[in-house]
Chain A
Amino acid sequence: MSTILNYTLYLALLVHTGLLAVVLWRVWFGENVIDRLTGAELLSTLTLAILVLLALVERDSMFIDVALGLAAVGFIGIIALAKYLADEQMY
C-alpha cells in the first residue's frame, strides 16, 4: 500500500509540474491584463499544491508552514493589484 501511495504522489507531482508549464505559457500569451492576473493567481495556487505534495512525500509538516506563508503573500498581492487596476490607485 505504501508503494501505491508513493507512485500516486510522484504522478501527482508530475501532473502539477506540467500544469505549471501550461499555465505559464498561457500567461505569457494572455489576452488582457485581468486574464494574466488570473493566470498569476493560478500559478501561486499550483505552487501551493506542489508544496503540499512535497509535505506528503517527505512526511514533513514544515512544507505546510511554507505553503501557509505563500498563500498569505499571494492573496495580499492579488487583492492589491486588482484594486490598483480597478481604481488606478492603491489606497
Chain B
Amino acid sequence: MIEILVYPDERLKQVARPVERFDKDLRTFVVELEETMRAGPSCVGLAATQVGNPQRIAIVDVSIKPKIKSHGRILLINPEITARDGVVVGREGCMSVPDYTGNVIRAERISLTTCDLNGERKLYQLEGFEARAVQHEIDHLDGMLFLDRLVSRRDDLFRRKTYK
C-alpha cells in the first residue's frame, strides 16, 4: 500500500515522464499501485502521480461496477489517446480530492494505445464509463485534476464547445 497524495499537494500538478525501462522495478511498482487502487472503496483507477511517482503509469478497472461495459484491468504505461468521438457529461470524484464530486465533460469514445509490462503497444477501443476512467487517469499524468474541468449543472449543455 502506498500513501495517496491529496490536493493541494504540488506533486499532483507535475507532468509525468514516460517510462523508459520495462524492468523488475516497474513490475513491482505496478503491483503496489494496483493493491493501493483496490484498497480504495469503489475506486476504479489510480495513477502513479497520485502516489508521488512521476512516471506515465496508471491502472483502470471498472469491472467492479455492475452493468458497465468493461475490458477488466487495463494497464496504462505511456498511454496515448489517438482518437476521440462524442462528448458526455458525467460525475467524477477522486481519491486525491476527498469529499467532493462534480460534473465533467469527457469524450464518449476513445482509441487508446498503451504499453504492457514488456513495452509492447496494445490498442483499445473504449466507451462510456471506462473511457471516462482512462481520461481521468491520463489527466493525472498530465498534472490535471477533474477540478480543472468542472462544469456546473446549469452549464452542462453550453460548455461543450470549449472542450479541449
Q: Do A and B form a real pair? A: no
- Using a CB–CB cutoff of 8 Å, the interface residues on chain B facing chain A are none
